[in-house]
Amino acid sequence: MGQLLDGQLLADLRTGKLKESVNKLKAGGIIPCFCVINIGNDPSSQIYLKTKKRKADEIGIVQKVYQLPENETQADLLALIDRLNADQKVDGIMIQLPAPKQINLNQALERIDPEKDVDCLTPSNVGRLWRGDHFVEPATAHGILALLDHYQLNLQGQNVVIIGRSSIVGKPLAALMLERDATVSILHAKTQNLAAYTKRADILVSAAGQAGMITAKLVKKDAIVIDVGINRQNGKTVGDVDFDAVRQKAKYLTPVPGGIGPLTVESLMEQVVNLTRRKNGR
Ligand code: NAD
């Protein structure tokens, strides 16, 4: 039976260390300030905002939420980003996704000062990520690497298959894993014969958002399986992985909940603290 990779445990450990870093900054008169722009009333976003706020409070980061109406204009959004960019007290900025359809998201993301780009989504930071000299890392990808490192699971030469090609999970994770000398394939909804790839994966990461999609048949024996998916099924939160069946075959796997989710929130706060340190030359 596969060993659990306990994301919650690691997130708690890292939170403790992060608190110490923030206390040191505070002793020098610096309080990290993180601004989240939320446009509209997406119910999942409201939950994510609360989760972030709890974590920020726990660590000692000031989190400000800028709640904008569902019909917010592009011009007003850009004006807010300009104000936050110019505000010396602000260390990190992110736009909570999804944004309403009238918003040109790429244009808004491009407007964020790369030095305050907590999600690593500005073009220059995405470029730095692929060039391998980044100063900020997307939270989910950062959390996954932290988990593999914690359990001393080496990526060098490993055959990694990532399901999902989003800008926030699949693509940045591929960049960071390539940097660690893994051989990476990115699969997506139009991939033909998914099983041909997944069955050869030493490390299989699923970020498709499809409950139960990863059956035991798709998994190589003794693989490491990372479940990023968060889905609601029969009133419960489940991942993409058919957990009980896959556990019989994998060597290691992450649970949902308690796997990548808590690490993502914690990693996001790490990015805020890193950007604060960088801004202040610490
Ligand atoms: P997304 O919708 O932007 O991307 C989903 C990707 O999966 C797409 O590239 C799509 O092509 C691919 N996909 C969908 N169905 C597929 C299928 N049947 N076969 C192959 N590929 C398929 O989503 P996202 O924002 O990247 O998030 C993905 C999932 O991860 C969601 O469930 C989301 O809630 C979850 N998520 C979790 C965390 C966390 O902290 N655990 C963080 C971010 C996202």
- pLDDT for 150 equals 98
Beta bridge partners of 232: 237
CA of 67 to the centre of ligand 1 (A): 25
192 as an active site residue: the answer is: no
CATH of 29-114, one of 3.40.50.620, 3.90.226.10, 3.40.50.10860, 3.50.30.50: 3.40.50.10860
- pLDDT for 36 equals 98
The pLDDT profile of the chain, 282 residues, written as one tens digit per residue, is 999 999 999 999 999 999 999 999 999 999 999 999 999 999 999 999 999 999 999 999 999 999 999 999 999 999 999 999 999 999 999 999 999 999 999 999 999 999 999 999 999 999 999 999 999 999 999 999 999 999 999 999 999 999 999 999 999 999 999 999 999 999 999 999 999 999 999 999 999 999 999 999 999 999 999 999 999 999 999 999 999 999 999 999 999 999 999 999 999 999 999 999 999 999
CA of 137 to the centre of ligand 1 (A): 18
Please give the structure tokens belonging to residue 182: 């893994």
Beta strands 3-4; 252-253: pairing state: parallel
In contact, 65 and 53? CB cutoff 8 Å: yes
CA distance 126 to 260: 22
Answer whether 189 contacts ligand 1 (Cβ < 6 A): yes
- pLDDT for 133 equals 95
Question: Among the options 63, 96, 158, 271, which is catalytic?
Answer: 96
* Interval 122-140: pLDDT, tens: 999 999 999 999 999 999 9
Q: CATH 3.40.50.10860 residue ranges in the chain?
A: 29-114
- For ligand 1, mutation pick of 5, 169, 198, 240 (most atoms within 8 Å of CB): 169
User: What percentage of the chain's residues is helix, strand, coil (to nearest 5)?
Assistant: 45, 15, 40
Which residue's CA lies nearest to atom 14 of ligand 1? 208
Which residue's CA lies nearest to atom 1 of ligand 1? 166
In contact, 246 and 240? CB cutoff 8 Å: no
Q: Output the pTM of the full model.
A: 0.98
Answer whether 140 contacts ligand 1 (Cβ < 6 A): yes
- pLDDT for 128 equals 98
Q: Edge-to-edge strands of the sheet including 159-163?
A: 3-4, 252-253, 224-227, 203-206, 159-163, 183-187
Q: CATH 3.40.50.720 residue ranges in the chain?
A: 139-261
- CA dist list (Å): 202 to 6, 68, 263, 264: 19, 44, 22, 23
CB atoms within 10 A of CB 8: 15
Query: What is the amino acid identity at position 196?
Result: A
119 as an active site residue: the answer is: yes
Specify the fold of 139-261: Rossmann fold (3.40.50)
Question: Among the options 91, 117, 119, 202, which is catalytic?
Answer: 119
- pLDDT for 276 equals 98
- pLDDT for 49 equals 97
